[in-house]
């Protein structure tokens, strides 16, 4: 996220069910590979169910063991202090299949979402996040399932408990006019309809206003999008176009996002768009999506994308996804967003006279920091924004003669920002997370030296590729490279009431 023209001034329950006894025949068959899990869509238990090893925590159990099943209700949140209602407990989503039927002249959508998940507890019920819509049905396998809606929570109660480690699939059918949520910095978030065009702004909590799921970045999953629109209308989404299926007066666009993705990074756009294909470093496929009216100017504005990827790869290692591109929407909004593999930009990057390279590099850098390395909790937002902001300076340091990175970082430090380790939900995108965050990295660079700093950046980006991170994980990695504990350094730079002075 880059709040380029809005706030930023520069340039721009646990309920116990009836206990049941399960038999495990496990240890003789001990693979933990997900592929060894049962092929049925869901594994349920009742008081007489025998559960094979593939659904049990095998390695800690003797060959034949009994235990008492005490299924619980999955929690209504993942425990994020800033967003207690976001996400849910008791399962991990592995894949979303989101099918949307939309028409540019109709604000309503008709949709189904299949959620493939693995239970992380014996579940008598579990929650999904969903805002708005008429929820027509919830099915597990072939069975219509009881559900209750409570605010933005959908509480699903299967006919039988789901066993810990079992794979299961939930199918939801819903329709209506999407009702965006609001964020104090960004404005409306969710599925946005601006007449003939619809697009998505998901950060931080807008995803569950257009598809149900586990809406927290700590639970990433792969995605398949099937978007059906009238013939002649373009529908795009994250990832790679697998198929464009024509059916007379309608077309279904099928996009695959094969690497894991956080919910807030999911995107779909529908309207009059032109797809421009290209090639980036080492053959990386590029595909930009431009509002057709802006296509020529947007192509000019994004002409250095391959060079930007090349420079950032020199710092952070290989670009972490199968494709990249810019989605330029013909709308005026004061930010850009790092939607995975397809960063979202407003029309201003195509039509304004001032260069937009910094914003483009910022969103590209998020493909590593935020998208590949996802936040375990929102309060560590500086790991996204500080890194993406510093990447802007790394780009300029490499490509713009006369750019003085020390001078810019000193100008940020002179603002004497307050602590950045504890943002609030209402102030997640404060300038401090961006600029003091960048200064933290520059101070680290000046403290450990360029060579060690480069090694830290590369190791961090590759070690935690497609994994969750938090500040403690980054500090531990830095400590290994620095050869001495840097905890006091980070305590000062993240928590001191006023940003410390930059090392000379």
* Residues at the site binding Zn ion, with contacts judged by CB under 5 A: 1-2, 385, 388
DSSP 380: G
Nearer to Zn ion, 221 or 388 (CB): 388
Query: Token pair for residue 470?
Result: 């938090």
201 vs 356: CA distance, rounded Å: 20
Query: Token pair for residue 232?
Result: 């002649």
Query: Token pair for residue 309?
Result: 């990827």
Shortest reach from residue 307's CB to Zn ion, in Å: 20
Shortest reach from residue 390's CB to Zn ion, in Å: 11
Shortest reach from residue 362's CB to Zn ion, in Å: 5
Q: For residue 396, how many other CB atoms are within 10 A of its CB?
A: 19
Shortest reach from residue 348's CB to Zn ion, in Å: 16
Nearer to Zn ion, 127 or 389 (CB): 389
Shortest reach from residue 1's CB to Zn ion, in Å: 4
DSSP state string for 340-387: TTSEEE-THHHH-SS--HHHHHHHHHHTTBTTTEEESSGGGTHHHHHH
CA dihedral sign of residues 432, 436, 440, 442: positive
CA dihedral sign of residues 294, 296, 298, 301: negative
Shortest reach from residue 292's CB to Zn ion, in Å: 27
Shortest reach from residue 463's CB to Zn ion, in Å: 22
Nearer to Zn ion, 174 or 199 (CB): 199
The closest of 386, 381, 388, 390 to 437, measured between CA atoms, is 386
396 vs 29: CA distance, rounded Å: 55
Nearer to Zn ion, 163 or 261 (CB): 261
Nearer to Zn ion, 1 or 56 (CB): 1
DSSP 10: T
112 vs 103: CA distance, rounded Å: 16
The closest of 177, 143, 176 to 162, measured between CA atoms, is 143
Shortest reach from residue 438's CB to Zn ion, in Å: 11
Q: For residue 450, how many other CB atoms are within 10 A of its CB?
A: 9
Is-contact 19 70, C-beta < 8 A?
A: yes
Is-contact 132 191, C-beta < 8 A?
A: no
Nearer to Zn ion, 2 or 193 (CB): 2
Nearer to Zn ion, 99 or 365 (CB): 365
Nearer to Zn ion, 1 or 111 (CB): 1
Residue facing Zn ion at closest CB distance: 1
Nearer to Zn ion, 125 or 343 (CB): 343
Residue 361 to residues 149, 276, 463: CA-CA distances in angstroms? 41, 19, 22
Shortest reach from residue 431's CB to Zn ion, in Å: 12
Q: Does residue 87 come out as left (phi exceeding 0), alpha (psi in the -120 to 50 range) or beta?
A: left
Q: How far apart are the first and last CA of the chain?
A: 31
Shortest reach from residue 296's CB to Zn ion, in Å: 27
Nearer to Zn ion, 61 or 421 (CB): 421
């Amino acid at each position: 996220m880059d709040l380029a023209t809005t706030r930023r001034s520069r340039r721009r329950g646990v309920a116990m069910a009836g206990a049941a006894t399960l038999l495990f025949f496990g240890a003789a068959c001990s693979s933990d590979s997900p592929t060894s899990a049962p092929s049925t869509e869901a594994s349920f238990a009742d008081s007489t169910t025998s559960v094979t090893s593939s659904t049990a925590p095998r390695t800690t159990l003797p060959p034949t063991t009994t235990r008492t099943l005490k299924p619980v209700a999955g929690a209504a949140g993942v425990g994020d202090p800033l967003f207690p209602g976001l996400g849910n407990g008791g399962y991990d989503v592995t894949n979303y299949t989101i099918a949307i039927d939309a028409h540019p002249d109709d604000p309503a959508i008709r949709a189904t979402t299949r959620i493939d998940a693995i239970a992380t507890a014996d579940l008598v019920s579990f929650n999904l996040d969903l805002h708005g819509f008429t929820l027509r049905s919830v099915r597990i396998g072939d069975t219509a399932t009881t559900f209750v809606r409570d605010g933005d929570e959908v509480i699903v109660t299967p006919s039988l408990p789901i066993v810990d480690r079992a794979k299961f699939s939930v199918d939801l059918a819903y329709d209506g006019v999407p009702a965006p949520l609001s964020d104090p910095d960004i404005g409306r978030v969710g599925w946005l309809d601006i007449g003939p065009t619809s697009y998505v702004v998901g950060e931080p909590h807008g995803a569950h206003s257009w598809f149900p799921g586990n809406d927290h970045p700590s639970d990433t999953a792969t995605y398949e999008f099937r978007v059906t629109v009238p013939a002649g209308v373009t529908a795009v989404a994250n990832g790679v176009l697998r198929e464009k299926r024509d059916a007379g007066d309608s077309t279904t666009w099928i996009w695959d996002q094969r690497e894991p993705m956080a919910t807030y990074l999911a995107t779909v756009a529908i309207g009059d768009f032109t797809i421009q294909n290209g090639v980036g470093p080492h053959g990386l496929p590029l595909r930009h999506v431009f509002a057709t009216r802006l296509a020529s100017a947007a192509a000019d504005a994004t002409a250095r994308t391959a060079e930007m990827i090349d420079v950032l790869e020199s710092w952070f290692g290989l670009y972490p996804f199968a494709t990249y591109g810019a989605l330029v929407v013909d709308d005026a909004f004061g930010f850009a967003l790092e939607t995975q593999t397809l960063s979202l930009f407003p029309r201003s990057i195509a039509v304004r006279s001032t260069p937009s390279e910094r914003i483009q590099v910022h969103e590209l850098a998020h493909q590593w920091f935020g998208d590949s390395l996802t936040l375990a909790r929102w309060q560590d937002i500086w790991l996204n924004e500080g890194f993406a902001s510093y990447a802007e300076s790394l780009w300029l340091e490499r490509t713009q003669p006369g750019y003085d990175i020390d001078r810019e970082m000193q100008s940020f430090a002179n603002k004497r920002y307050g602590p950045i380790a504890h943002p609030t939900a209402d102030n997640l995108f404060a300038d401090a997370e961006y600029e003091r965050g960048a200064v933290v990295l520059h101070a680290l660079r000046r403290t450990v030296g360029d060579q060690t700093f480069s090694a830290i950046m590369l190791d961090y980006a590759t070690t935690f590729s497609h994994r969750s991170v938090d500040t403690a994980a980054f500090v531990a990695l830095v400590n290994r490279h620095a050869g001495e504990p840097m905890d006091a350094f980070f305590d000062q730079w993240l928590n001191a009431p006023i940003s410390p002075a930059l090392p000379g």
